[in-house]
A and B are shown apart, each in its own frame.
Chain A
């Protein structure tokens, strides 16, 4: 009997969950709660209205930090990629800032913005800014000359050239960069919430441990983080599937 393709990963996960539960039962008091306990913890969070609240809080921060980074880094990156001299001037700076982990900014974020939403938004912004900047610059470099020449040939004004040639030409590569960067922001928000705020999924994990070693809630938080990260990735991928964006793959 052959299984439908979509059923296989689900079945595989169910088998793993069963094995996990079995292992926990064979060694009671072991290092990690079993899936049933985790599910119960999740239910408990739901009942207290905490799960939804924390998810919304985390998504709120990610959205702001990521969107702010997009609207600043992408135009700047496109401009720097276009004007090579600007890029040469800016490049050393961005190469120095890029390898600094966003987490290293935590003390400074707290110093500047205190403990609260602004700090974590700032951290997500810092973590997303440089990857997006570099993506935008390289996307401009990768535009085939033939599109630029064809665009110039039709006598467009500068703004029309940007809107009708430059922007659509960089879009496919930009979307891939944005998807990867959104993944980074999701990593950063959890870390930021462990320190700089008192809500959100990162806070949930730290708080559950501090308030009585509720490891079932810790793992529940981890599972929710994973699932939402997956959903964000799926959403960005579906954006890449839009016909006028996906031309690169078919060319």
Chain B
């Protein structure tokens, strides 16, 4: 079990830093630049949302941060250590099918906990079952759960290994709009109790304004950072307050969408 390194950040006070990050894919002899010159500093415990036009490279950025692909240029560091591969200290949560269908709810949450002594493992599983409100479903298989429950399960499995950073790739993108709203408040509640650093990719403007401390707007391909917007509204956020609407409009403008349809 890696120790919880929250607070042990040396010097600069940043949890996760991307410096001049660039990713170029080679496909059929063509070189396609996905990311270019991404520099971003994320504080410990900060909630960052990444938005941008679809296909711009949001997921690529998340994969580079998670160590699932190595950047062509630049680097990602977490607590000053360069990210070189996938690691349990930073867990990626996927949009769909991220939980293991052959394991029960308990089995999924305990997936990363096999080195723990049995009693501690069970205690940790029980804690996270409760945190994501899946009591009564401990022995259920993912096929018996709704889409929202599956995503909560995936978040619980990620949190159970005590990661420094949680990377979420459009985690609510496949859910219906009502479930999505519920899941947002659930995630906020979990974030407020567990206080992890979160990088959350979304294509939903409202989602970004409701959740984030800061919203990173990416340009279309190759993605560069176009704007970083600080959402200076305390939680719980009133979604028809003037400031909320102002920030939402600003974000829509940044993405290049009209205010009227």
Contact = CB atoms under 8 A, between A and B. Distances in A.
Contacts of A210: none
Interface in A164-185: 164-165, 168-169, 171
Nearest to A155: B88
Interface residues of B, number: 23
Interface of B is mostly: loop
Contacts of B143: 247, 250-251
B86 A153 contact: yes
B122 interface: no
26 contacts: A144-B97, A146-B98, A147-B97, A147-B100, A149-B92, A150-B92, A150-B94, A154-B91, A154-B112, A154-B161, A160-B114, A164-B111, A165-B100, A168-B100, A243-B141, A244-B103, A244-B141, A245-B102, A247-B101, A247-B102, A247-B142, A247-B143, A248-B101, A250-B101, A250-B143, A251-B97
A146 B102 contact: no
Of the listed residues A154, A244, A245, the one surrounded by the most CB atoms of chain B closer than 10 A to its CB is A154
Interface in B79-118: 86-88, 91-92, 94, 96-103, 111-112, 114
A237 interface: no
Interface residues of A, number: 22
B171 interface: no
Contacts of B112: 154-155
Contacts of A152: 68, 86
B94 A146 contact: yes
Interface in B111-169: 111-112, 114, 141-143, 161
A139 to B, nearest CB: 14
B225 to A, nearest CB: 25
B2 to A, nearest CB: 9
A169 B99 CA distance: 12
B22 interface: no
B66 interface: yes
Interface string B221-241: 000000000000000000000
Given A154-B88, A155-B88, A243-B141, A149 B100 contact: no
Contacts, number: 59
Nearest to A160: B114
Nearest to A167: B102
Interface string A89-122: 0000000000000000000000000000000000
A160 to B, nearest CB: 7
Contacts of A250: 101, 141, 143
A165 B103 CA distance: 10
Nearest to B68: A149
Contacts of A168: 100, 102-103
Given A154-B111, A243-B141, A247-B143, A146 B97 contact: yes
Interface in A127-177: 144, 146-147, 149-150, 152-155, 160, 164-165, 168-169, 171
A150 B102 contact: no
B91 A153 contact: yes
Contacts of A160: 114
B105 to A, nearest CB: 13
A251 B100 CA distance: 11
Contacts of B66: 153
Interface in B43-67: 66
Contacts of A171: 102
